[in-house]
Amino acid sequence: MAWIGLDWGTSSLRGARFDEQGAVLEERAFARGILTVPKRGFAAVFDELFGDWMRPAGTRCLISGMAGSQQGWIEAPYCACPASLDELVARLAWIEAGRIAIVPGLSCEHSGAPDVMRGEETQVFGALRLLDIDRGTFVMPGTHSKWIQVANGRIEHFATLMTGEFYALLRRHSILARTLPDDDVALVDAAFDAGVAHALRGPGLLQSAFSVRTLSLFERLPLQERPSYLSGLVIGEELRTRDPSGGEQLIVIGDDALMRRYERAFAQRDVRVRSVGAQATWNGLFSIAKRIGA
């Protein structure tokens, strides 16, 4: 049966049309994240951008990401961890019965506070399929990085770290911004590595971040290297916070540029990682599609 998959996030919307073996026949991408869509406007945007793909009778659509949030098309209540793929399938939020469904996000609890994700769970199940594994620690770098523990094919637990957002805040809005170049500059590996190393020595970002200012003050860090150093500081802090041990199987899912930074950072902890790219989402949606007989 024909089916399509959508990754509908906060700021972007990607879609793909698949054959029955999960191979991508065609892809589309739009700057139509959920923040650009009025609350009752999702059906119209969907019809406009993907109506032609849905025309063949019996075509199904699976959607992952923020489209299932309170601000999305319909709210798909969070599924509590631990959660397997079967539980996601059982909790699909159907917009049109048997035709269009949203994959629920996951929630878990740590130290008295909840944590949530939407979309990353689908990528993790896709990565499990791609790598043919059923356990590991999955790292998904980004504005809000996710660290996800999988055992026996189930997502047991996960944590969100606001790494990318802290970088952006410090880069653009803090006192450190005054000593940084206005324009984006290319990554300088040595400066990035020095930032990672400084963060890993501890004792924490509240303190280590100030070194951007003092190293600049004493002219020990050239202007063009400062953003790389700061990036190393926040990513190093993420690794220090999660403290990956050497024994664990670590899989990084993300885009190439960010993945390269994380691989450099992990190398300082003697942790080797496997990496998976954007195809993880499509593979995750395919795993779900197969289970619902699409």
> Using CB under 8 A as the criterion, which residues of the chain lie in contact with a copy of itself when the complex forms?
70, 111-116, 144, 159-163, 165-166, 169-170, 173-175, 198, 201-211, 214-215, 217-218, 220, 234, 237-238, 240-243
Q: How far is the CB of 14 from a copy of itself (least distance, A)?
A: 22
For residues 80 and 90, which CB has a smaller minimum distance to a copy of itself in the complex? 80
Q: Mutual orientation of helices 226-242 and 163-172 as an angle, nearest 10°? A: 150
Cβ proximity to a copy of itself: between 51 and 114 the closer is: 114
Task: Fill in the DSSP letter of residue 288.
Answer: H
SS3 content of the chain, % helix, strand, coil (to 5): 40, 25, 35
Least gap, CB of 212 to a copy of itself (angstroms): 9
Give yes or no for a contact between 172 and 184, defined as CB atoms under 8 angstroms apart.
no
User: Closer to a copy of itself at the Cβ: 15 or 72?
Assistant: 72
CB of residue 192 to a copy of itself, shortest distance in Å: 15
Smallest distance, a copy of itself to C-beta of residue 254, A: 17
Question: Torsions phi, psi of 3, nearest 5?
Answer: -155, 160
Nearer to a copy of itself, 7 or 238 (CB): 238
In this structure, the number of other CB atoms found within 10 A of the CB of residue 43 comes to: 13
CB hemisphere CA count around 273 (13 angstroms): 26
Nearest-angstrom CA–CA distance, 127 and 138: 9
Nearer to a copy of itself, 64 or 216 (CB): 216
d(CA 235, CA 228): 11
Whose Cβ is closer to a copy of itself: residue 97's or residue 206's?
A: 206
Distance in Å, CB of 279 to a copy of itself, minimum? 27
Q: How far is CA 202 from CA 215, 230, 265, in A?
A: 17, 14, 15
Helices (H) and strands (E) in the chain, counts: 10, 14
Judged by CB, which is closer to a copy of itself: 56, or 203?
203
Q: How far apart are CA 124 and CA 50, in angstroms?
A: 25
> CB–CB of 140/148 below 8 Å?
yes
CA distance 127 to 217: 45
Q: 56 or 112: whose CB is closer to a copy of itself?
A: 112
Please, what is the minimum distance in Å from the beta carbon of residue 124 to a copy of itself? 18
- The CB-of-133 to a copy of itself minimum distance in angstroms stands at 25
Minimum CB distance to a copy of itself, residue 174 (Å) = 6
